[in-house]
Amino acid sequence: MLAAALACDITRLFTYEWSTNQSEFVYSELGISGTHHNDVTHNLGSSQGQNDQREIIKLVMAALAGLADELRSLPEAGGNVLDNTLILGTSEHANPNAHNYRDHPFVLVGKACGNIRAGMHHRHPGGDNNQDAPDVLLTAVRAVGVPLEQLGQTDPGFERFTSDTVTEIET
């Protein structure tokens, strides 16, 4: 339904939340019997908790990939709907067991009408901080035409990532 709404230009903005914060959902289809928040994320110190979390992440990422594939299959303006879309995906925490944001994951899917180069991977060399998060969010909003000068708070003395810290990956 979302892909059709985008393709028909009924909407150009959406929010999709896989599950609520502190979700007590049970992923029984994955063979997981405990609740996501209390039994899985607060048990990441065990190999079972890590395996369960990995399986949940794979399920969520497969759903995101499915949406991207659907958008890619719909032609639009010399390309496809995915070419003209930008999806920002992230999680509540980088490390849910510790409730911290160190090495927080973000994924940008789509090209935002050519404003985002696909196939890029960036991981800050000092993964113990989250200084790039405002830059990721600012990049996303600028790519879709929002002319902000800054977004979020950053440490003014922090050195931003440069082209030598960005690694291209095949898409």
CA 144 to centroid of chain Cα atoms: 16
For the stretch 1-59, pLDDT in tens is: 999 999 999 998 898 888 877 888 999 999 999 998 888 888 888 899 889 989 998 99
CB count within 10 Å of CB 17 equals: 8
The pTM (predicted TM-score) of the whole model is 0.81
pLDDT of 166 = 46
Do 26 and 32 contact (CB within 8 A), yes or no?
Answer: yes
Predicted confidence (pLDDT) at residue 165 exceeds the cutoff of 50: no
Beta bridge partners of 120: 168
Closest C-alpha to 167, from 115, 103, 124: 124
DSSP 95: B
Q: Which tokens belong to 58?
A: 């794979």
What integer best gives the mean pLDDT of the chain? 82
Distance CA 88, CA 83 (A): 14
Residue 163: band (very low, low, confident or very high) from pLDDT cuts 50, 70, 90: very low
Is residue 56 within 8 A of residue 28, CB to CB? The reply is: no
pLDDT at 153 over 70: no
